[in-house]
Amino acid sequence: MNDILCMKKIKDNKKSSSHKLKKILIITFSIIISVVVVVILSASIITKYLVEKYDVEYTGRQITMDWAYTNPFTGYVHLSGLKIYEQKNDSVFISLDGVSANFALRKLFSKTYEISELTLDHPRILIIQQKKIFNYDDLIKKFTSTDSTDTIKKAPVHFNILNIKVNDGEIYYWEKTIPITYFIKNVDFDSPGMRWNVDSVESKFSFATGIGKGDVEGEISVNIDSLNYRLGVIIKKFDLNILEQYLKELTNYGSFSANINAAIKATGNFNDAEDITARGMLVINDFHFGKNPQDDYASFDKLVLAVNDLSPKKHKYFCDSVSLSRPYLKYEQYDYLDNIEMMFGKGGSTAAAVNSDPAKFNLILEIGDYIKMLSKNFFQSDYKIKRIAVYNGELEFNDYSISEKFAMDLKPISVFADSINKNNSRVNAFFNSGVNPYGNLSVALSINPKDSGDYDMFYNLQKLPVSMFNPYTITYTSYPLDRGTMEFKGNWNVRNGIIQSVNHLIIIDPRVTKRLKNKNAKWIPMPLIMTFVRETGNIIDYEIPITGNLKDPKFHLNDVLIDLFQNIFIKPVTTPYRMLVRNTETEIEKSLTVKWEMRHSSLLSSQEKFIKKMVDFLVENPKAYIAVYPQQYAIKEKEYILLYEAKKKYFLALNNKNNQSFNKTDSIKVDKMSVKDSLFVLYLNKHVYNSLVFTIQEKCAWLINAYVINAKFEQLNKERENAFISYFKEKGVEKQVVIYNDQNVIPYNGFSYYKIIYKGEFPESIIKAYQEINELNDQEMRNKYKKDRWNIQL
């Protein structure tokens, strides 16, 4: 029994001892944990306190945070809601949701300061620039300054920053002078970091534009000592709208948009911009530059540059291809300057003023200077381009400096060149384009790639109606043309800058029509001049050789002078023949067309004569009828109506009149008034409240509602139809006339007209006229150009 009791007592004692040991251990661990917590809390509080107390002293900036966590046992530090302010300012320079860092404590004893991991969560950085001064310049100066008076030799201290990560960052940029505002978002950065004994740093990065669409990702490796770099970058549909803000400093107005795709690998050195070797593909999409987003001066769908090896320092420019899709360029001439000088200032003065100020930074100019630097030695370098191509281009030219608008388009433009290689003996290029409203242009060029003054060129501009130049002939001679087709071709051989060329101008069947009297138009007796310049076959045919050198070409006009001499002394002998040709052509033309003068609905006496012949033909042939197709030159007719109505409104205001008191004499005065009249232009300017309206036509459109112009045009067409059909109604044959709906066209003869097609019987007078003109064309004086006449549109 005693043994049992003893054993029980021993057992109880052991249990009590074990309970006490557990209690002691719990208390000990609790104390240790409490101490650790207290130390961590104290360290965290002290960290926040010290950072916020000595921030200005050591950084020159105020720093705040929401809270800090510091673990002195592991070396882990986390700062939450960190904000670094601008120097002497309450604006935030950098803010972060959190900053985390792991310090390698054991390496402190070997005088190596190492952050084994550094993570920045959602940093937001504001970069401010004023001219070439940045808001972080003070920090660079503070942390890069050295004290030269400290001559005490210290043991080297090493720094390592490893495993650097930036998550979802944002970087804002504000340039105050221009001003520029821009930002990028979703900035991610990942790098194994940098060690004191390794001179290279590698990293991966990605970000997206904050304005518009597009993103960038890539890898970069930089040698810290030499600043050599290796870069690989992929850009996807990245908006270039930041350039529009820089454009505003270079221009008086304007808009810009584009985006870029790229896949580029490059090596180089940051200290030498020319030291770059690159390959890859660069694509610029949806490029638009102009007066406003609706009015482009230049645009293209896509520019593709495929580079095999680009190295300016090694003088190597090897490209696989360069292609441009749907390029568009518009050039306009105004009374004062042109559209480009209006935008950039006379002679580019606005852009030149910015470029001349060394304190100003403009990204567009910097890009331009960089491209210029990369390409400055192109022709002295080894270059190869397998293919250059331009697809479906357009060049638009408008001249508003004369009494009425002149417009011409080159489209669709195509350019092709293969095997552009400095080592080739010749490089061939081909240019083809239509000319709107009529005509086409082709150019073939063969050039020595080693010498730009050594080339052969053949060009051919053909099927161009001379009537399209009526805005110029009316302005400078008072006479429009309503017939004639021009062809201009030539062959140039240039060696060492010395020209040997033949240039051949042919104008087939040119004809001057009725003089237009206008105070602004100069007067030159064009019918008399035509007598001297036209040859017997109603042709202007001149060869104009050009010789000399490219800087001082010499034009040889011997052929022109000889032809003039022959026309004066020989041509009168052939007058009966020429009169017969002209009368026969008139017989055919006026039986098949009725031409209308601009903004007029009355017929000339000669036209009435031919219409009466049509009426008599229908009376004699009841089963025959004619189909009439009104071909309306709507765009030009409306321009004439617009200018007249604007001048009329000015005339009424000037003379205190109204529409009821406006008479025929007043109408003649308005008709003869120049659209360039200084008082009229001053009147227009007072009624236009838009500084970007440059042309008389646009200013008149501000004054006269488009509804009025359209109503006047419809009224004009109705009056013409009534004037035409009235002759047929008099003889009761109007049912034999079918007038179809109007067709808006740009007529070859430069005037609105009625196209007449005979159905059933055909008038004998026209048949006879066709037979006569064929016989006349077969004669020696016109037979030479018979093929050309068949090839042109009349």
- For residues 631 and 767, the model is more confident at 631
C-alpha atoms less than 13 angstroms from C-alpha of 177 in its C-beta half-sphere: 15
Cβ proximity of 296 and 290 under 8 Å: yes
Look at residue 773 and tell me whether its pLDDT is greater than 80.
Answer: no
- DSSP count for the chain of H helices, then E strands: 19, 32
Distance CA 615, CA 611 (A): 6
Residue 96: burial class (beta carbons within 10 Å; 0-12, 13-18, 19+)? buried
Distance CA 582, CA 511 (A): 10
Look at residue 575 and tell me whether its pLDDT is greater than 80.
Answer: no
Averaged over 8-31, what is the pLDDT? 65
Q: For position 112, what pLDDT does the model report?
A: 79
DSSP 450: T
The predicted-structure confidence for 576-615, as pLDDT tens digits, reads as follows: 555 555 655 666 666 678 889 999 998 888 888 888 888 8
Distance CA 317, CA 699 (A): 50
User: Residue 507's closest CA among 491, 492, 529?
Assistant: 529
Residues of the chain with CATH 3.30.1330.60: 575-791
Distance CA 507, CA 70 (A): 92
Residue bearing tokens 């030695």 = 377
Averaged over 363-386, what is the pLDDT? 82
Averaged over 540-559, what is the pLDDT? 82
What global pTM score does this model have?
Answer: 0.85
Look at residue 141 and tell me whether its pLDDT is greater than 80.
Answer: yes
DSSP 497: T
Distance CA 332, CA 328 (A): 13
Q: Which phi and psi (to 5°) does residue 450 adopt?
A: -90, -10
Q: For position 154, what pLDDT does the model report?
A: 56
DSSP 741: P
Averaged over 512-516, what is the pLDDT? 85
Distance CA 770, CA 751 (A): 24
- For residues 71 and 13, the model is more confident at 71
User: Residue 792's closest CA among 470, 468, 485?
Assistant: 485
The predicted-structure confidence for 147-179, as pLDDT tens digits, reads as follows: 544 444 555 678 888 999 999 999 999 988 888
Q: For position 775, what pLDDT does the model report?
A: 47
The CATH code of domain 575-791 reads 3.30.1330.60
Q: For position 214, what pLDDT does the model report?
A: 94
Under the banding of pLDDT at 50, 70 and 90, the label for residue 207 is very high
Mean pLDDT, all residues of the chain: 85
User: Residue 189's closest CA among 139, 121, 240, 239?
Assistant: 121
DSSP 571: G
Q: Tokens representing 526?
A: 């064009």
3-state secondary structure 335-364: CCCEHHHHHHCHHHHHHHHHHCCCCCCCHH
Q: For position 573, what pLDDT does the model report?
A: 44
Distance CA 681, CA 696 (A): 8
Q: Tokens representing 737?
A: 């006339």
Under the banding of pLDDT at 50, 70 and 90, the label for residue 418 is confident
Q: For position 40, what pLDDT does the model report?
A: 65
C-alpha atoms less than 13 angstroms from C-alpha of 178 in its C-beta half-sphere: 30
Look at residue 314 and tell me whether its pLDDT is greater than 80.
Answer: yes
Least confident of 101-110, 213-222, 444-453, 585-594: 585-594
Strand-pair partners of 94: 84, 125
Averaged over 655-666, what is the pLDDT? 91
CA 753 centroid distance within chain:
38
Look at residue 104 and tell me whether its pLDDT is greater than 90.
Answer: no
Under the banding of pLDDT at 50, 70 and 90, the label for residue 523 is confident
Cβ proximity of 394 and 411 under 8 Å: yes
Q: For the chain, what is the radius of gyration of the CA atoms?
A: 42
Count the Cβ atoms, other than its own, within 10 Å of residue 547. 12
Under the banding of pLDDT at 50, 70 and 90, the label for residue 794 is very low
C-alpha atoms less than 13 angstroms from C-alpha of 291 in its C-beta half-sphere: 16
Under the banding of pLDDT at 50, 70 and 90, the label for residue 261 is very high
Q: What SS3 state is found at 139? A: helix
Q: For position 553, what pLDDT does the model report?
A: 85
Q: For position 592, what pLDDT does the model report?
A: 79
Please report which helix (H) or strand (E) contains residue 476, including its range. helix 470-477
Q: What is the dihedral of CA 13, 16, 20, 26, to 10 degrees?
A: 140
Q: Which residues contact 569 (CB under 8 A, 6 or more apart)?
A: none
The predicted-structure confidence for 694-726, as pLDDT tens digits, reads as follows: 999 999 999 999 999 999 999 999 999 999 999
Cβ proximity of 346 and 318 under 8 Å: no
The predicted-structure confidence for 645-655, as pLDDT tens digits, reads as follows: 999 999 999 99
Look at residue 33 and tell me whether its pLDDT is greater than 80.
Answer: no
